[in-house]
Amino acid sequence: MRLLVAGGGTGGHFFPALAVSKELLRRGNEVLYVGSFGGIEEREKFPTKKVLLKVSGFIGRGIRGYLESYRFVTSTFKVLKLIEEFKPDAAVVFGGYSSLPVGISSVIRGVPLFVQEQNSVPGRVNRLLSRFSERCFLGFPPASSYLSETAEFTGNPVRRGVLEKRKLKREVLLEEFGLDRDKKVLVVIGGSQGALWINELVLKSIPLISKLPLQVVHITGRSKKEEELKEKYREFNVKALVFPFYRDVGKIYRLADAAVSRAGALAISEMSLFGVPSLLIPFPFAADNHQLKNAEYVEKIGGALCKTQGELTEKIFSEEVERLLFDRILRSKLRENFLKFSRPYATETVVERVCSRRN
């Protein structure tokens, strides 16, 4: 079976597309991936042929609007030609700039279209394309109210490399990272958006959280706070590992006794697989405030704590961290409900639904 896969710009769109593509390839299918220049897909390797489009947001007025419209039209013609040459049996889009020309071209050519939406509030591209799709795969149940009746909650596809880290022995990882067995591990993940605000909050809170028997693994993101955080942790005698980025994130989740994170769909989906008691701090400038909706849904089902930036001070933050690490009843409840939300077979489910189209 030949599949056309599109989606990218950010890791939230790209990595689910990558996970599904790898599973399709593992089952003997052919995959052609379409992304866009300037996105994460331009830097990341892909296991099959990769085509990048010069396309960006289909918005704007004046010269910018004309330029974006021109890029969209030329990209659509390019995809129409790709479809003519590749002759896909189906197309799967994951959101992001490349998904619109691929989705529209698939509809024009009569190629069966599938949509995977990661967030509680779907992006505009997926909302549009869902009207023409055979099925929509959802990362969060609330998204169904925005999309076609064919929507199904499958969970978000997660990379096999992340899933497999659940099998690792935590004691071995503690030794590998040089961490103590008698102290709780707090993981802080800034994410690709808004990492600076979380880093600054933690920086101000270190004098308070240093009073707790904890150690920290802190992923700062692309921020200038890395050295400042290292120095502050040292000043208050907190054992801390500070990284700007850590590729093998499954190991970090396996280490975590608790986590502080933005509320991106992929981060939530990955953490849920490990049942990590988490404090979710939504990025307030996300499109359609989708991070807040993601966090509110998980909090509603009892799977995590949610605090907005406006609600957090250093004192409140340190109190929430203490609860996450040392309140046994709360930890047990959060873990149980987060695991119930998780969908470890999301990738396989999406692939099976798409491949069943062949029959």
CA triple 262-265-267, angle to 5 deg? 55
Assign 21 to helix, strand or coil.
Answer: helix
Instruction: Give binding residues as ranges.
Output: 10-12, 119, 159, 192, 291
Check whether residue 238 and residue 329 sit in a common domain: yes
pLDDT tens, position by position, 197-248: 999 999 999 999 999 999 999 999 876 689 999 999 999 999 999 999 898 9
Check whether residue 25 and residue 105 sit in a common domain: yes
pLDDT tens, position by position, 290-324: 999 999 999 999 999 999 999 999 999 999 999 99
pLDDT more than 90, % of the chain: 87
Check whether residue 86 and residue 135 sit in a common domain: yes
Check whether residue 7 and residue 114 sit in a common domain: yes
Check whether residue 279 and residue 353 sit in a common domain: no
| 322-to-23, 85, 327 alpha-carbon distances in Å | 40, 58, 8
Check whether residue 117 and residue 186 sit in a common domain: no
Check whether residue 257 and residue 136 sit in a common domain: no
Instruction: Give binding residues for UDP-N-acetyl-alpha-D-glucosamine as ranges.
Output: 10-12, 119, 159, 192, 291
The DSSP symbol for 49 reads -
pLDDT tens, position by position, 84-125: 999 999 999 999 999 999 999 999 999 999 999 999 999 999
Nearest of 183, 215, 216, 185 to residue 198 by alpha carbon? 216
Check whether residue 209 and residue 73 sit in a common domain: no
| 107-to-114, 186, 305 alpha-carbon distances in Å | 11, 47, 41
| 330-to-15, 312, 346 alpha-carbon distances in Å | 31, 20, 27
Check whether residue 299 and residue 316 sit in a common domain: yes
pLDDT tens, position by position, 46-70: 999 999 999 876 555 566 666 778 8
Check whether residue 145 and residue 274 sit in a common domain: no
Identify the CATH number of the domain in which residue 192 sits. 3.40.50.2000
Check whether residue 130 and residue 75 sit in a common domain: yes
How far apart are the C-alpha atoms of 294 and 179, rounded to whole Å? Answer: 32
How far apart are the C-alpha atoms of 303 and 335, rounded to whole Å? Answer: 7
Domain tally, the chain: 2
pTM (two decimals): 0.94
Check whether residue 26 and residue 80 sit in a common domain: yes
Structural domain range at position 143:
2-158+344-358
How far apart are the C-alpha atoms of 148 and 132, rounded to whole Å? Answer: 9
| DSSP per-residue string spanning 192-211 | SSSHHHHHHHHHHHHHHHTT
